[in-house]
């Protein structure tokens, strides 16, 4: 696990007031108005694609919020919502409900961040030789190289090849399984107090929390994030950039070239350095994917624009 850059979005908590104060149908209508009418403030968490921020104080309120969107588990259509933090009482929730709430909370965030990466891949393709003027190509490639840790001349073929391997999506099934494993289904201290879903570290004390069982000479901290989406973004960037996960990226490229989805074995291949537990950890994440049928349940899901969901009702 490695330190990560906190690209934490800002948000307005109007969604919480709507959800807590109104019946479900009225809340849904109110959130739809927010989505359609307040593009620069209340309909977005500040990221692209925009998600409607949700804050809830209890697991029951979170379930009620999801019900207002017709969002169950498993789901083929996922509302564009961004739960800012898990409710404090999630640990006391019945296991099946806790798992359902956890997966539904994470899935829109993973899909949104993957959509952002897909847009970056389109930019990368447009910046291929002869696609754009060199000045514009350099601008696009330099921006991507900075985010994905690629050194060298942006216009060099080697730089573009490295970016092609790194600027890519992560299977939602893997993200959900690792988040569940690393955060104790959203109930760990680091998840509750720091929105850290993937156990990422930092060496900057101002940006992290000290593990309770840390040795006296420990020089790392557990990364603190402003909200859950920031943690998801950091995790995806971690898998896409760190040298320890080069084999994962190679397996992903191979599956993509063959035009097929990654298997649970391929998803977890190359992640033996993610945890000090090595291959035992890999087997546990693999089992998490299989036991919860995550490959099948999230294979074809997509984010549905809120206006489209309202029109369907």
| Model confidence at 146: pLDDT above 90 | yes
Listed in sequence order, the DSSP H helices in the chain are 14-21, 24-37, 59-68, 95-126, 134-148, 157-166, 172-183, 189-194, 228-241, 246-257, 264-268, 279-291, 294-297, 306-312
Residue-wise pLDDT for 41-99, tens only, equals: 334 466 788 999 999 999 999 999 999 999 999 988 899 999 999 999 999 999 999 99
Residue-wise pLDDT for 176-209, tens only, equals: 999 999 999 999 999 999 999 998 856 565 566 6
> CA 5, 135, 167, 47 torsion: positive or negative?
positive
Angle formed at CA 31 by CA 236 and CA 304, multiple of 5 degrees: 45
Per-residue model confidence (pLDDT) at position 209: 63
| Model confidence at 311: pLDDT above 70 | no
| In this structure, CATH architecture of domain 14-116+169-200+225-312 | Orthogonal Bundle (1.10)
Write out the residue limits of the CATH 1.10.530.10 domain(s) in the chain. Answer: 14-116+169-200+225-312
| Model confidence at 291: pLDDT above 50 | yes
Q: What would the mean pLDDT of 254-274 be, rounded to a whole number?
A: 96
């Amino acid at each position: 696990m490695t330190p990560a850059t906190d690209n934490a979005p800002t948000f307005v908590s109007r969604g919480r007031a709507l959800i807590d104060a109104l019946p479900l149908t009225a809340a849904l209508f109110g959130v739809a108005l927010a989505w359609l009418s307040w593009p620069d403030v209340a309909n977005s968490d500040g990221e692209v694609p925009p998600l409607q921020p949700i804050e809830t104080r209890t697991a029951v309120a979170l379930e009620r919020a999801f019900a207002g969107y017709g969002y169950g588990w498993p789901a083929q259509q996922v509302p564009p919502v961004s739960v800012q933090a898990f409710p404090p009482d999630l640990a006391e929730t019945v296991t099946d409900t806790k798992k359902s709430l956890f997966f539904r909370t994470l899935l829109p965030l993973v899909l949104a961040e993957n959509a952002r990466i897909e847009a970056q891949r389109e930019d990368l393709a447009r910046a291929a030789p002869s696609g754009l003027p060199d000045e514009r190509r350099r601008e696009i490639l330099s921006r991507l190289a900075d985010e994905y840790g690629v050194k060298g001349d942006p216009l060099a073929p080697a730089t573009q090849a490295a970016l092609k391997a790194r600027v890519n999506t992560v299977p939602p099934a893997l993200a959900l399984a690792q988040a569940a494993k690393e955060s104790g289904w959203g109930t760990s201290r680091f998840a509750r107090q720091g929105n850290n879903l993937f156990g990422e570290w930092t060496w900057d004390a101002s940006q992290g929390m000290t593990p309770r069982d840390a040795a006296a000479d420990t020089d790392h901290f557990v990364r603190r994030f402003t909200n859950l989406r920031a943690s998801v973004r950091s995790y995806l960037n971690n898998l896409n950039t760190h040298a320890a996960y080069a084999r994962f990226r190679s397996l992903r490229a191979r599956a993509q070239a063959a035009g097929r989805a990654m298997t649970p074995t391929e998803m977890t291949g190359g992640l033996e350095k993610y945890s000090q537990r090595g291959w035992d950890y890999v087997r546990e994440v693999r089992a998490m994917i299989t036991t919860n049928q995550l490959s099948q349940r999230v294979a074809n899901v997509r984010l549905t624009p809120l206006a489209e969901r309202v029109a369907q009702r």
